[in-house]
Structure 1
């Protein structure tokens, strides 16, 4: 009950932004599911034609259409991810996360435009390729156009509304942080770095696992059926195991140890995070080189895999220095502020005002 009252009862702006992102998620998921359905139908048609017609153009379009299904699913996951982050930002009164969500919202709006462009330009090339579109898929190629245009309008309008509501909450949360940490500018800077790193870990989770899922889908759905020889399948199995270890397992362990290291101020955990982040960076660079050297192998997924890899590398380049700054702030009193605030908030009691602490208390007061 306290959590519900904290989300809905703080102000009209917290209630408004929660309702806005939930409404956006519901509408976006509905229309994305419609687009996914139309695209699946198109993939089925192309699959039938690929089997009956030995045509490289059809095979190319089929690979592109099939890969798009993964990105439609990721877009749906991104909507749920946004709702969770907004609730978390309200709960934590995190202004940094609001700014990141502002960028993420416009990123999803841009994706809705790219999605429309990709699905409507699957058949590209000379007149023979265009004729294939008419002969084999007919109206199926353009059936989802109305849903994609509606999706673009929903995302752009909601991004504009989110900008306004996020600004209002930004003003409210700034005052909350002042009350929580006090007037000590050094401690407020430490808390700001703590917030930034926590926010980065959440986006690391989405984009790192987003890349991992895309690559897994590419190997299982596209490469495996096309691997007919035992040697090719053996090589694919080896690559699959490497990806599961270097991307999926390392990513999960890296983010978990970073979270617990930051929350508990464990330096060993933070050192381990830096080491695993460097290992992930090496793997991302290796994969990016593979995509550049063998573009035909990544047909239909090259653009988005490259995008996710670049975002992942940027996140590592930002997360590692921030983690080092947070590491240097360990054992300087910040954890007492955070743990004291959490304990006091959960019992709904006011904290001791500054200057009225008990003499045997080593914790700083926040309010």
Structure 2
């Protein structure tokens, strides 16, 4: 599918691009200032700040990739998910302020960094959530227009069968959830590996590293199985999601268990945020995966695997402009 060349698609792209560039610029300044003034140190607190800043920056870059993907595929569900994800980045940005303040305070008390670092960084750390908040508002407004704009495309692609539209909507939700599952799982794992796990020879450390490619494989297989309507494959994926849910529940328990909680203290607020969001996403993904499996062999597969050429896409877009906006109920009825 080609990238739709419309006013609202470019507006959505520009909003997310400007937000990403400004935020990355501020994050780079904070990171450089910290690195310049920090003395040689390998404590968890010293690893906390670079990890948070790098993860936050990756979040915006990954979001930018998902924006292109959502607009290219005209996936309105993913666009709505991106607006919610941006709100999540806003919350994480607010959490980041306290986390970095605590880390700088600990390092300052141990004379490992100048106390001026916090005073120099605080204004920029406060500005970042404000920028993301403004970006979230603008993204939501443009997403509303895109929802109406893409409704006609879905109508042309699926036809007027309301039951088929619901099945296609369920499929779109599942695909979007897999992409967001990846980011939040990766974010939690990175924080554990860099901040919490100090023993590089610990079995849990190696198991966590192995879990990263395994997770990518599971998510990719989930997308493949739902497109091929493989019931057995979906059952395996659902069982693996239950295992992932048990893993995050276990991690949450360890984060607040009196015996193991000290190891998690430098990153506990942000790791708790990522763990809870991931758990919620896993539960929703499991429910949606069951709904997708229930829709197998009901005629959706040809619509999902049908590829349209650029000429057909342009024809659809011209038809949309001629026909005008389709009521927003078209997508969810």
CA contact (8 A) 1:45 1:137 kept: no
Residues 135/339 of structure 1: CA separation in 2 closer, same or farther (3 Å cut): closer
| Distance in 1 of aligned mates of 2:277 and 2:24 | 24
Instruction: Give the TM-score normalised by the residue count of structure 1.
Output: 0.78
**Closer, same or farther: CA 253–68 of 1 in aligned 2, 3 Å:** same
Specify which of 136, 153, 171 is matched with residue 159 of structure 1: 136
Report the counterpart of residue 17 of structure 1 in structure 2: 12
Q: Aligned partners of 2:76, 2:172: CA distance in 1, in Å?
A: 8
Q: Secondary structure at the match of 1:144?
A: helix
Cα distance 1:266–1:165, how it changes in 2: closer, same or farther (>3 A)?
same
Q: Indicate the residue corresponding to 1:244 in structure 2.
A: 209
Which residue number in structure 1 is paired with residue 158 of structure 2?
A: 181
Partner of 1:117: 98
Contact 1:17 1:166 in 2 (8 A): yes
Report the CA distance shift for 1:267/1:85 in structure 2 as closer, same or farther (over 3 A): same
Q: 1:70, 1:217 within 8 Å by CA — same for their partners in 2?
A: yes
Note if 1:322 corresponds to 2:288.
yes
Q: Distance in 2 between matches of 1:109 and 1:136?
A: 27
Mapped pair 1:67 → 2:48:
yes
1:264 and 1:335 in contact (8 A); partners too? yes
Aligned to 1:298: 264
Q: 5+ unaligned residues in a row in structure 2: which ranges? A: 317-333
Distance 1:349 1:160, change over 3 A: closer
Alpha-carbon distance between aligned partners in 2 of 1:116 and 1:202, rounded to the nearest angstrom? 27
Of residues 128, 133, 148, the one that matches 2:125 is 148
Cα 1:302/1:130, change in 2 over 3 Å = closer
Alpha-carbon offset, residue 267 of structure 1: 2.0
Question: How far apart are residue 195 of structure 1 and its match?
Answer: 0.6
The corresponding residue for 1:269 is 233
Which of 329, 337, 342 is the aligned partner of 2:303? 337
Q: C-alpha displacement at 1:74, in angstroms? A: 1.0
Cα distance in 2 between the residues matched to 1:116 and 1:103: 21
- 1:283 aligns to 2:247 (yes or no): yes
Q: Aligned partners of 1:204, 1:217: CA distance in 2, in Å?
A: 20
How far apart are residue 77 of structure 1 and its match? 0.8
Shift in alpha-carbon separation, 1:146–1:108, aligned structure 2, 3 A: same
Q: Indicate the SS of the match to 2:27.
A: helix
2:32 aligns with one of 37, 40, 44: 37
CA contact (8 A) 1:24 1:154 kept: yes
Give the number of the structure with larger relative contact order, counting CA–CA contacts within 8 Å between residues 6 or more apart.
2
Given that 1:219 and 1:240 are in contact with CA atoms closer than 8 Å, whether structure 2 keeps it comes out as no
Task: Map Cα deviations across residues 30-55 of structure 1 (whole Å, 9 max, x no partner).
Answer: 1111111223345x2383xx9xxxxx
Q: 1:41 to 1:295 in 2, by over 3 A?
A: farther
Unaligned runs of 5+ residues in structure 1 are 51-61, 225-232, 352-367
Structure 2 partner of 1:204: 181
Structure 1: how far apart are the matches of 2:214 and 2:305?
29
Larger Rg: 1
Query: Partners in 2 of 1:122 and 1:241 — Cα distance?
Result: 26
Q: What is aligned with 2:329? A: none
How many equivalent pairs are there?
314
Distance 1:345 1:330, change over 3 A: farther
Q: Distance in 1 between matches of 2:157 and 2:266?
A: 49
Equivalent-residue separation in structure 2 for 1:103 and 1:272 (angstroms): 29
Asked if the contact 1:258–1:270 (Cα under 8 Å) also holds between the matched residues in 2, the reply is yes
Are the equivalent residues in 2 in contact too, given 1:344–1:350 (CA < 8 A)?
no
C-alpha spacing 1:92/1:136, structure 2 compared with 1 (3 Å): closer
Q: Distance in 2 between matches of 1:288 and 1:315?
A: 15
After TM superposition, give the deviation of residue 205 of structure 1 in Å: 0.9
